[in-house]
Amino acid sequence: MSLMDIPILRMAYDYRDFFLTGIKYTLLLSVIGVFCGFVLGIIVALMRMSPWRVLRWIATLWVEFLRGTPMLVQLFLIHYGLTKYGIEFTAVQSGAITLSINSSAYLAETFRAGIQGVDRGQSEAARSLGMRPAMTFRYIVLPQAIKAVLPAIGNEFITIIKESSIVSMIGVYDLMFQSRSITTITYEPMNPLIIAALLYFILTFTLSRLLGRFERRLNASDNR
């Protein structure tokens, strides 16, 4: 008996193109979501710490709304709701936008905690040397804050990989969409889902191991 005689392995091999396409879209949307969420999260974090009340109010509303509503609702609002006002996105665009703004809400709080955790004495020392506030933030505060929150950013990446499965609801060819497509073809509901679950696990487990190794290297460099 060969491995190909095992039904689930046979299915994984026969429909490998489906699953590879699903992995491609899942990783693409996850990378876009975390990268754009990273940039937008820093902006929102700075707005939350702004001396202007209006900016703080907008940023707080942004964070609380996105963290307090289901991502699926946000996805439907962007993909279907905005069409009422003549704003239309492709399924991939809607998925990327949803993942990005949702990720930004969580990363904004992470960045805010990281920025506030930097010793104020360093900022004062930089200003005493003649550095402007913007330079102090860019070269002293922000690098330390990002380094401190790198593990949290990695965890957000892992979370986004898993939560990206909702984009299948609007027709993006991610892993969940492909598994449902295979079910439609084969009338086999269980094995495609098991394969998709294993692929999600492989992606997240591999990423968590890589992030753990990277974090240990950073800690080792700090101890030198």
Dump pLDDT digits (tens) for 140-174: 777 788 787 888 888 899 999 999 999 999 999 99
Fold classification of 3-223 is MetI-like fold (1.10.3720)
For residue range 105-118, what is the model confidence (pLDDT) as tens digits? 999 999 988 888 87
- Structural domain boundaries in the chain: 3-223
* Residue 45, pLDDT score: 92
DSSP letter (8 states) at residue 223: H
pLDDT at 32: 95
The amino acid occupying position 168 is S
Structure-token match 């936008």, residue found: 97
**CB within 8 A of 90, min separation 6: which ones?**
none
The interaxial angle of helices 53-68 and 16-48, nearest 10 deg, is: 150
DSSP string of 54-94?
HHHHHHHHHHHHHHHS-HHHHHHHHHTGGGGGT----HHHH
| Below-50 pLDDT ranges, the chain | none
CA angle 123, 127, 129 (to 5 degrees): 120
